Amino acid sequence: MFRTAIKSSVLKSSCSKLVLLNLSSKLPSSQLVSVFNQHYNYNTYYRSFASTNINSSTRSTVIQLLNNIGSKREVEQYLKYFTSVSSQQFAIIKVGGAIISDQLNELASCLAFLYHVGLYPIILHGTGPQVNLFLKNEKIEPNYIDGIRITDPKTMKIVRDCFNKQNLTLVSALETMGVRARPITSGVFTADYLDQNKYNLVGKIKSVNTTAIQSSIDASCLPILTSLAETPSGQILNVNADIAAGELAKVFQPLKIVYLNEKGGIINGNTGEKISIINLDQEYESLLKQSWVKYGTKLKIKEIRELLNHLPRSSSVAIINVANLQKELFTDSGAGTLIRRGYKLVLKNNLTQFENIDLLKDALLRDEDIKSGKIPISYYLTELENSNFVAYGDEPLDVLAIIKRNNTEIPILDKFLALKNSWLNNVPDNIFNQIKLDYPSLQWTIREDDPNNSFYFSKSQGSYHKNGYILYWYGIENPNQIASLIQNFLDKPSTPIRKVKNFNDLNNNTKSKLDNKYSGGSTVFKNLTQNKQISTLSFRRKFSTNFTKYNLSSTSLSPLKSSFEKGTPVVKNENNKPSKIGIIGARGYTAQNLISMVNDHPLLEILYVSSRELNGQPVEGYEKQKITYSNFKVDDIKTIEKNKEIDMWVMALPNGVCKPFVEAIENINNGKSKIIDLSADYRFDTSGEWVYGLPEVNDRSKIANAKKISNPGCYANCAEIVIKPLLNYIGKDQVPSIFAVSGYSGAGTKPSIKNDVNLLSDNLIPYSLTDHVHEKEISSQLGIEVGFMPHVAQWYQGITLTISIPLCEKLTSRDIRNLYQDTYDNEQLITVNGEIPFVKDISGKHGVVIGGFGVNAKQDRVVIVATIDNLLKGAASQALQNINLALKYGEYSGIPQDTFIH
């Protein structure tokens, strides 16, 4: 039975789409699969599924179902993680033969979930139980040596028949559920005889041919594989399915290798409990010494360790029951046994123990106060040097925790800094659990808007909320101690609550603030003498084993670092008063798009629009008031400035024209009005008066405080966003090359061969092959030389850039992808994908899409593809971002949310 009833009825679409369920509570994965089975109109839906693309409403509905397994944050986080790589690198799922026989519907439903959110796992199945059943019926005793089935020609015929039957059974079940699947029973594995005299027709895989698998995924079909192999001469050989899955993983290097079995994980033989996580680098040796780790379990752990040693550290193995596949993949708590390499924990209590001090500095720069300069890093290090501290971390310091004991009864967790990917790999849990072993009590303070507050809540005994910060603690039972802890928290500046000495001195009003307010209010602590109640927030996966401390020297394994520290995105609206803007030179496409967005802006108003060609005509696309175009001269600008009518002037003029207007504005009222220039005139300013307005790369606070802003060029905007994270990895004399193609709207409204539709038909026109103004702009802003080759094509709007970047260090595609995802994780207008973005998908959208990340065999060059709409993020919406920042509005105000690229 469901934990709570499904309150609303199931609504079925007349268009044969996936049913929409309104679920009132979180449901177990297996129950969601049951709902999926009962209410999915499989046959009708499949017949209507003519497109190779996943139906967007179907995807949305399946995500809603997934949200009932875990939180929305978890589902979105893992979907983003899984789609960060190319489709074939998401997961390899090994299915035991017994699951196809006994749990076929559950298996097919789980795979359908993945398929309908756009994920394409590679599925490889076994057939051992079916072969044994057939042999038993034929009264043939199975023969094994060292756990390997002896496969003579008669047995091989049975094995092949069983494989083919099981493969088609699974494919048919998937297709019945609207999933396009392709049977692949041969042509993938090439093998030699393992030992022909000993095992007969048993193979040892020598190579993997990926063509059929990639072709299947390219056609939006799930590839369903058997583990049969062939010799170069064509003899079929039997191969253990687990081994075949491992060989596939070595080639595709997936994020996840999933083994589906009946037990659903590795069981601790002493306690009978399922082990949640195994971190091999930390636990392997001690794990093998456990009395219950023997026979098949020991062999399995050894094989998984050998496999993971061939894969990136971001890869992991999950052993899981089919009913809990979604919970394992899409929630922090997981459901089976997760095995990863991880890192050994390191412990430092002196700065001299950090051999690589830069590694420590990089970790500390994740702290907002240190990154912003509010607390200089040199000051913090000096303070640390004079403190009684202990630093915990993994070897590359993807996670860094610092605990201080300076004259405090309860130790303080001063910093807990973690990279995004470390959360996905559960490293913070590893660190925090070790801290709990070493410190029976602890206190710490976190910003209320910290995205990982649910994690801190799950680790705490109680918490107290005040003025944007949350005090957490654990291991404290004495009410007076807790009251003193809270009092110290309240005594910090800006608190409106009076000082008190202990809990008994608190008045009733203040005491009431300590009540448990799970559904609202300022606290999440129930009673000073009670333990914390179960939280409504999500809990992360718990670790199964204890960890010993290691005092190791710094490793040479350094995490990839971005070449710049971007400012925190400014999205808050600090100004609620309307502002007036004037646009000079409004005939072009950029100005027209800007006018349209200002029309929807809650606080911006257009007072004047100047255009020589459109003088006297009404301004179309602006409905707040009737405005006609004017043809302003310099003296007109001076008069408007004297009257203090304008807060922000927008220069939408051709290159080399706007200087007289700028000087007129500056010379009146000491330049009261702010200016943004959309031309290239001031992008190379060296006086310091102009700020380059690319907030995703430059310091947002400088833009917010600037009086004069130069808006980036469209090509330069996209290219700088793409290249800058890799500046640390480009050698001194190495030159990135940029092959750029724009739609003809980039050539402007003035007739030329670059916007001649007839000439562009079935054509591509290169121009300005050297020394283009954007080439100079990109080089100037990045501080390196680039090669830029622009072209114009026959479409109207949108730009695609293919950028080849030489590397001075060997990096993998995944390393680089992770770097970009970390760099731009909080940017609402930048999306990083594993796939190559298409220019047709960016047209009319506000943002930049980055993908591809093709690395050559030598790992010394990466090719990245990016797209941007030249009229929007390349010009108008970029200008509006800068205007919002300068006028202290929400950074994205007026930019239509429904056309963001996410």
Residue 714 annotated among the catalytic residues of the structure: yes
**Residue 2, CB-side half-sphere exposure with 13 Å CA sphere:** 16
Out of 221, 714, 718, 808, which one is annotated catalytic? Answer: 714
CA–CA dist 228, 237 (Å, integer): 6
Reported in sequence order, the residue ranges of 321-440 that DSSP labels E, i.e. its strands, are 337-340, 345-348, 389-394, 399-404, 412-418
Q: How far apart are CA 317 and CA 339, in angstroms?
A: 5
Give the residues across from 830 on adjacent strands.
848
Helix (H) or strand (E) holding 805: strand 799-806
Rounded to the nearest angstrom, the gap between the alpha carbon of residue 428 and the centroid of all alpha carbons in its chain is 17
- Residue appearing with tokens 């679409």: 13
Asked if residues 552 and 395 have their Cβ atoms less than 8 Å apart, the reply is yes
Q: Treating both helix axes as pointing N-terminal to C-terminal, what angle do 72-82 and 56-66 enclose, rounded to 10 degrees? A: 130
CA proximity to 653, closest of 675, 677, 627: 677
* Burial group, residue 205, by CB count within 10 angstroms (0-12, 13-18, 19+): buried
As given in the structure block, the two tokens for residue 893 are 């105000």
The number of CA neighbours under 13 Å toward the Cβ of 883 is: 35
Which of the 8 DSSP states describes residue 438?
A: H
Could you tell me the CA-to-CA distances from 720 to 714, 781, 782 in Å, in that order?
A: 10, 8, 7
Please answer whether residues 668 and 703 qualify as being in contact, where contact means their C-beta atoms are separated by less than 8 angstroms: no
How far is residue 486's CA from residue 439's CA, in Å, rounded to a whole number?
A: 20
Bridge partners, residue 238, by sequence: 202
Residue 666: exposure state from Cβ atoms within 10 A (0-12, 13-18, ≥19): middle
Phi, psi of 89 (to 5 degrees): -100, 10
Residue 466 is encoded by which pair of tokens?
Answer: 């005040």
Widest distance between CA atoms in the chain: 104
The catalytic residues are: 714
